[in-house]
A and B are shown apart, each in its own frame.
Chain A
């Protein structure tokens, strides 16, 4: 499959934005349940939401480059009953909108108590909105992952591990971004974010490794015998019907050699997960925000490589019909 850079930027950027929102809500909840000694200011969350909105906005901007007719993008909300792509298009602005309200409520320090529980803890408006934001962000992870996981004809994608990995890598990059933000702001949440980022990054690495292992053991469902319906063991394509190229030879193939794809997979695992995990620990111990920002930048490059390899490793069933130029 040809890796489209618009989609690589879209999925990595909104993943980081959603993860950062989930991190901020988790940080707020961390104080609400009484785990932390002090609370954070409303401005801290508001600024964090602005950073998350920047990620989401850049991702949304990149997504328009994937559409040949972006002026018709409004039509894509219509088929939410059947299409995960449509569901993603609905959820992304929903997350952005809820995040704006969440950030605004924090900025204005508007915290009317909605519910008081028997243990004297209370649920205020900002926390309630936070749960909505986090829930919408997690649903968006599922929608984005399902866009790829529901493509039955791409056996490397058609797995629950695709959804798991989109969610875990997004959360990992979001929590690392939150670590950088909290370390820079000298927030008491820096330690919590760093610990959570470390756990999520290592879990994401394991999830990615399991997905790669699973993809190495796929048995093809279709063969040349079923593709053209000739019951013969030895079938070769003499010509695909044209000497040049077509949409099918461009969209479903990529120029990288198998060795190059393996190299990019290794780069993705190292720069996307292993090195950022180490840098997060370093930032946590040393307390320098520059180290955490380096972790964000290195992980972003690594996740682009990881996403590139995710596309390049997808072998579509239709490729059976496009094996020989001539």
Chain B
């Protein structure tokens, strides 16, 4: 277990499914640490390509009582990553320092066995380079001292226009990510496999207010108290300094 574990917290209540995180991720990472992220046949009938981040859309319920859920999915940087021990070359590893799961593309033989051992389907094989690729949590951004501190975040987090993505150390209880998990019931995907994913999701929250009808209609003397109220003293404070009780 790491003392520090960087992760993303994704707020499904806020995500609007705009794919800005997908395109900014591709843009940053294709020329970054784990790049390139090649596309094959990008303008043809069957385009394909390597992405670290995808936004999927699900619909729940039966019409008309339905709900649309936009669901961004990238590597969850599990605390018990099942993809790491199966790698025959040691190319797949989890960093001690910050818990980020990475692939050393100089060691990868391209056997794809790690992708078989991921239940979330977040590793994507690069057919052009012949190695496995995956989300790096923008490891080449978050430690870049040439960037101003507020920009040292993954590209997807900076791109999100609705602020649905929070980046932080989930082992630090004061981080924004931890606070969001604690306060907004953050949960993990497929906890039944014991992978203990570090990325958390915040559930959809229904904003409702309970109103009674008599709260909507103004009623004079609502309490039906007929007697005159006692007159306050002349010098007593009044509601608006104009009228008296």
Residues in A67-105 with C-beta less than 8 Å from chain B: 67-70, 72-73, 75-79, 82-86, 89
Q: Does B5 contact A (CB under 8 A)?
A: no
Contact A239 B120 (CB under 8 A): no
Interface string of B201-235 (1 = CB under 8 A from A): 10110000000000000000000000000000000
Q: Does A41 contact B (CB under 8 A)?
A: no
Q: Does B237 contact A (CB under 8 A)?
A: no
Query: Of residues B55, B68, B71, which shows the largest number of chain A Cβ atoms within 10 Å of its Cβ?
Result: B71
Contact A76 B82 (CB under 8 A): no
Residues in A235-291 with C-beta less than 8 Å from chain B: 235-248, 250-252
Contact A150 B60 (CB under 8 A): no
- A229: which of B127, B130, B187 is its contact (CB, 8 Å)? B187
**Known contacts A78-B90, A221-B193, A241-B55; 8 further A-B pairs (Cβ under 8 A):** A76-B109, A77-B88, A79-B90, A147-B113, A228-B71, A242-B54, A245-B48, A316-B119
**A residues at B contact (CB < 8 Å):** 66-70, 72-73, 75-79, 82-86, 89, 147, 150-154, 221-222, 224, 226-230, 232, 234-248, 250-252, 316-319, 321-322
- A321: which of B73, B109, B191 is its contact (CB, 8 Å)? B73
Instruction: Considering the complex, give the chain A residue whose CB is closest to the CB of B19.
Output: A241
Contact A153 B57 (CB under 8 A): no
- A153: which of B111, B112, B193 is its contact (CB, 8 Å)? B193
Chain A residues whose C-beta falls within 8 Å of the C-beta of B19 in the assembled complex: 241
Q: Does B87 contact A (CB under 8 A)?
A: yes
Tell me, rounded to whole Å, the shortest Cβ–Cβ distance linking B14 to chain A.
15
Chain B residues whose C-beta falls within 8 Å of the C-beta of A82 in the assembled complex: 85-86
Tell me, rounded to whole Å, the shortest Cβ–Cβ distance linking B33 to chain A.
19
- Once A234-B60, A235-B58, A240-B54 are accepted as A-B contacts, the answer to whether A154 and B116 lie under 8 Å apart by CB is yes
**Considering the chains assembled together, what is the distance between the CA atoms of A252 and B117 in angstroms?**
12
Q: Chain B: how many interface residues by the 8 Å CB criterion?
A: 62
- A238: which of B46, B59, B187 is its contact (CB, 8 Å)? B59
Chain B residues whose C-beta falls within 8 Å of the C-beta of A69 in the assembled complex: 108-110, 130-131
Instruction: Considering the complex, give the chain A residue whose CB is closest to the CB of B201.
Output: A229
- A246: which of B49, B187, B201 is its contact (CB, 8 Å)? B49
- A151: which of B41, B73, B87, B116 is its contact (CB, 8 Å)? B116
Q: Does B29 contact A (CB under 8 A)?
A: no
- B109: which of A68, A234, A237 is its contact (CB, 8 Å)? A68
Contact B57 A239 (CB under 8 A): yes
**Considering the chains assembled together, what is the distance between the CA atoms of A89 and B89 in angstroms?**
11
Instruction: Considering the complex, give the chain A residue whose CB is closest to the CB of B45.
Output: A244
Contact A150 B86 (CB under 8 A): yes
Tell me, rounded to whole Å, the shortest Cβ–Cβ distance linking B49 to chain A.
7
Chain B residues whose C-beta falls within 8 Å of the C-beta of A154 in the assembled complex: 116
Interface string of B73-91 (1 = CB under 8 A from A): 1000000001001111111
Q: Does B124 contact A (CB under 8 A)?
A: yes
- B46: which of A221, A244, A317 is its contact (CB, 8 Å)? A244
Contact B85 A75 (CB under 8 A): no
A-B contact pairs, 8 of them (CB 8 A): A68-B127, A84-B86, A222-B192, A228-B71, A229-B187, A242-B47, A248-B121, A321-B121
Instruction: Considering the complex, give the chain B residue whose CB is closest to the CB of A232.
Output: B60
Instruction: Considering the complex, give the chain B residue whose CB is closest to the CB of A151.
Output: B116
**Considering the chains assembled together, what is the distance between the CA atoms of A244 and B50 in angstroms?**
12
Chain B residues whose C-beta falls within 8 Å of the C-beta of A224 in the assembled complex: 58
**Considering the chains assembled together, what is the distance between the CA atoms of A84 and B111 in angstroms?**
13
Interface string of B179-213 (1 = CB under 8 A from A): 00000000111111100000001011000000000
- Once A79-B90, A240-B54 are accepted as A-B contacts, the answer to whether A153 and B116 lie under 8 Å apart by CB is yes
Instruction: Considering the complex, give the chain A residue whose CB is closest to the CB of B65.
Output: A234
Chain B residues whose C-beta falls within 8 Å of the C-beta of A234 in the assembled complex: 60-62
Chain A residues whose C-beta falls within 8 Å of the C-beta of B12 in the assembled complex: 230
Contact A238 B58 (CB under 8 A): yes
Chain B residues whose C-beta falls within 8 Å of the C-beta of A244 in the assembled complex: 41, 46-49
- Once A75-B89, A226-B190, A251-B125 are accepted as A-B contacts, the answer to whether A245 and B46 lie under 8 Å apart by CB is yes
Contact A72 B109 (CB under 8 A): yes
Contact B46 A227 (CB under 8 A): no
Contact A89 B88 (CB under 8 A): yes
- B87: which of A68, A79, A239 is its contact (CB, 8 Å)? A79
Chain B residues whose C-beta falls within 8 Å of the C-beta of A222 in the assembled complex: 119, 190, 192-193
Contact A68 B115 (CB under 8 A): no
- A66: which of B22, B50, B111 is its contact (CB, 8 Å)? B111
**Considering the chains assembled together, what is the distance between the CA atoms of A227 and B22 in angstroms?**
20
- A318: which of B60, B111, B119 is its contact (CB, 8 Å)? B119
Instruction: Considering the complex, give the chain A residue whose CB is closest to the CB of B62.
Output: A234
Chain A residues whose C-beta falls within 8 Å of the C-beta of B110 in the assembled complex: 67-69
Query: Of residues B86, B88, B124, B125, which shows the largest number of chain A Cβ atoms within 10 Å of its Cβ?
Result: B88
